[in-house]
Structure 1
Amino acid sequence: MQLAGYQNRMPPFGAFERWFRLLALAARLVCRAAVEPGRVRSIAKHESTICGRLWSLHLPTRIFGLVSMTRDIAARRHHIILESLERLETISVEELARSLDVSRETIRRDLKALSAEGLLSVVHGGAIRAERSEASFASRRAVNRAGKELIANLAASMLGDGVTILLDSGTTTEAVVRALVRSDRKRLVVHTTSLENARLASRLPGARVFLIGGEFDRNEDATSGAEALRAIGRLSADFSFVSVGGVDAEGRLTDYTRAGAAIRSALLSNAEQGFLMADSSKFGLVLPSRIGGDATFAGLLLDRLPPDPIASNLTKNGVRLLVS
């Protein structure tokens, strides 16, 4: 791994060495004075010379400057570590120590400090990106309700009777199910990770509703984990509709957790036409885990076009934008 530019920004340490040697000499003399009182007189002979040399270097001022510069260097390392985790998701102490040209102990202290601020999670041998916690489902349901309903109506208009669909557990997806109930679609086959979506879909005339198995996520009121991924892998559908946690300035479609992103990516992969959905409250939101990966999808459903550079970067990334 290459963390370019760090060495070029490092200050020269040669000038500090003289100060440290003088400080060390002064400390040794003071310590000897404490433990060998008989030698105080000989130490005193050197006192004026040592103090004069320290004062001539303006050492008190330089010490404060050194502390400030040391903090600045640590801040730069912290910034580079966080930038690297944004790209790589996980990184080792060994890689960081080699790339930043510092000791492993220094990197471990850096990681501990960043972990205390909630900016990353320390694991054995390195660190991983910290996962941001998402608001409760009930509070998210109230955010931009009108925008989500516009998207839901667009999604429902794409579906005819008798099709098979895959749904995740997002609040926009819940709005899609409610729109389908209002539209009186018939004989739909619905596979979903969401308990609420399954309950709502059961109101559709002649519908067959399947709850995808897996570990229960209380915050999402839905299933997730390895079992859910295996279950999704055995499915095949005409359409899938998946909620997006955030759309950043680079046009990346993201989620709060790796587990959530994995479920949504799998739902996209196992449908003939997979659609992502993002209302305008998601624009500019930077989250740690990307949705999609190698999965192809038919488009991104929106309540309105996002501002540039988000819109231009989405288009550049090959994402088809469909506005309700």
Structure 2
Amino acid sequence: MRASKSRRQAQILAELDRLPSLRVADLAERLAVSTETIRRDLDELTGQGRLNRTYGGAVRMMNSEPAMNERHALHVVERQRIAAAVVGRLAGARVVMIGSGSTTLHVARQIAADLRDLTVITHGFAIAAALSANASIKVVMAPGEYHAGEGATVGVHTTGFLSNFFADVAVLGASGLTEEGPNDALIESAAVYTAMTRRAARTLVAADHSKFGRMFPARYSGWSEVAELVSDSAPDGAVAAALAAAGVAVTPAP
């Protein structure tokens, strides 16, 4: 009985790796058990932190993300490699939008070191500060409500301001990357990234391998709206298949 339950719950988790959500009735039919048995399984898996219960089913467990100051200390070497690769993809760009984030901060530092005569539109205060080291770079700071945890402006004033501009490239980070697209832990930041994606001729996502397969509350675009992913390694599985289907170029940082 215990082994049977263990196998059944393993199948449920495997299904959630393949699908973003599951319904009790569908699981009961697929696994040839009662709906009450499935509900007990889902309740138990929720208690273990393996998934989230919803009305009538379950969804993948939402990940939690460290605070910005903690994220700066993670995957530093990988992010430096990604930043160098991103700057190499900005040839010919005159106007760039950059979203807030720890990886994009490395990108801003690399831009300040390597590029000249560029206009950068951003909502991240650390991004603007890093770019200020290069006097030839004009920084346009988006207004809005200050989010202390992210060190950036967010809200309707930020997204409305961005709608008045157009960029050659938008460089955006992500909290997670799934087959549905890049996502972010902060709904407010995701809205800003969506606005940047819509106002750029080309969107480039810069994210390290730890983001592959991770799901957070707010998806800010589909892969069809992204031109390129720059990472320290190439994803596999469902994420790789989705990128290929959408024609997204994958650039591994050397």
TM-score normalised by L of structure 1: 0.59
Quick one: which amino acid aligns to residue 249 of structure 2? R
Counterparts of 1:233 and 1:175, CA distance in 2: 25
Q: Who is 2:83 aligned against?
A: 152
CA RMSD of aligned residues (A): 4.1
Question: 3-state DSSP class of the match of 1:241?
Answer: strand
CA distance in 1, matches of 2:51, 2:238: 26
Residue matched to 2:16: 85
- Show structure 2 runs of 5+ residues with no match: none
Letter in 2 for 1:72: A
1:241 maps to which of 151, 162, 171: 171
Percent identical = 28
Verify: 1:320 aligned to 2:249, yes or no: yes
Q: How many residues of Structure 1 are paired with residues of Structure 2 in the alignment?
A: 248
Residues 258, 97 of structure 1: CA spacing in aligned structure 2 closer, same or farther, 3 A cutoff? Answer: farther
Unaligned runs of 5+ in 1: 1-69
Q: Report the more deviating stretch, 268-277 or 312-321.
A: 312-321
Q: CA deviation at 1:310?
A: 10
Q: Whole-Å Cα distance in 2 between the matches of residues 152 and 179 of structure 1?
A: 6
Deviation at 1:116, TM superposition (A): 0.7
* Structure with more relative contact order (C-alpha pairs < 8 Å, separation 6 or more): 2
Q: Which amino acid aligns with 1:153?
A: A
Displacement of 1:214 in angstroms is 6.2
Distance apart, 1:197 and its partner CA: 1.8
Return closer, same or farther for 1:287/1:224 CA change in 2, 3 Å cut-off.
farther
Letter paired with 1:117: Q
Residue number in structure 2 paired with 1:125:
56
Q: For residues 110 and 309 of structure 1, do their structure 2 counterparts lie closer, same or farther at Cα, with a shift above 3 Å needed?
A: closer
Are 1:288 and 2:215 an aligned pair?
yes
Q: How many angstroms does 1:109 deviate by?
A: 1.6
Match of 1:275 in 2: 204
- C-alpha distance in 2 between matches for 1:258 and 1:314: 23
Preserved contact between residue 247 and residue 283 of structure 1 (Cα < 8 Å): no
Superposed CA offset, 1:42-62 (max 9, x none): xxxxxxxxxxxxxxxxxxxxx
Secondary structure of 1:169 counterpart:
coil
Q: CA deviation at 1:174?
A: 0.2
Structure 1 position 118, deviation (Å): 0.7
| Contact 1:161/1:188, CA 8 A, preserved across alignment | no
What SS is found at the alignment partner of 2:224? coil
Map Cα deviations across residues 73-102 of structure 1 (whole Å, 9 max, x no partner): 322332233233333323333443444443
Taking a change above 3 Å as real, the CA distance of residues 126 and 253 of structure 1, as seen in their structure-2 partners, is: closer
**Do structure 1's residue 301 and structure 2's residue 230 form an aligned pair?**
yes
Larger radius of gyration: 1
Calculate the TM-score normalised by the size of structure 2: 0.72
Counterpart-to-counterpart distance in 1, 2:160 and 2:144: 9
1:196 is aligned to 126
Q: Shift of residue 122 of structure 1?
A: 1.9
Q: Distance in 1 between matches of 2:156 and 2:40?
A: 34
The answer to whether the Cα contact below 8 Å between 1:187 and 1:204 also exists between their aligned partners in 2 is: no
Give me the whole-angstrom Cα distance separating, in 2, the residues matched to 1:149 and 1:233: 30
> How far did 1:172 drift?
1.6
Q: After superposition, where does 1:18-33 map in structure 2 within 5 Å?
A: none
Partner of 1:172 in structure 2?
103
Equivalent residues in 2 for 1:102-141, closer than 5 Å: 102-141=33-72
CA–CA separation in structure 1 for the residues paired with 2:170 and 2:98: 6
The secondary structure found in structure 1 opposite 2:147 is strand
The amino acid across from 1:287 in the alignment is R
Asked if the contact 2:93/2:169 (under 8 Å) is kept, the reply is no
Q: Which structure's residues are more often helix, by fraction?
A: 1
Alignment check: 8 A CA contact 1:273 1:298 kept: yes
CA contact (8 A) 1:275 1:301 kept: yes
The alpha-carbon distance between structure 1 residues 307 and 152, as it changes in their structure 2 partners (threshold 3 A), is closer
The 3 A distance-change label for structure 1 pair 312 and 234 is: same
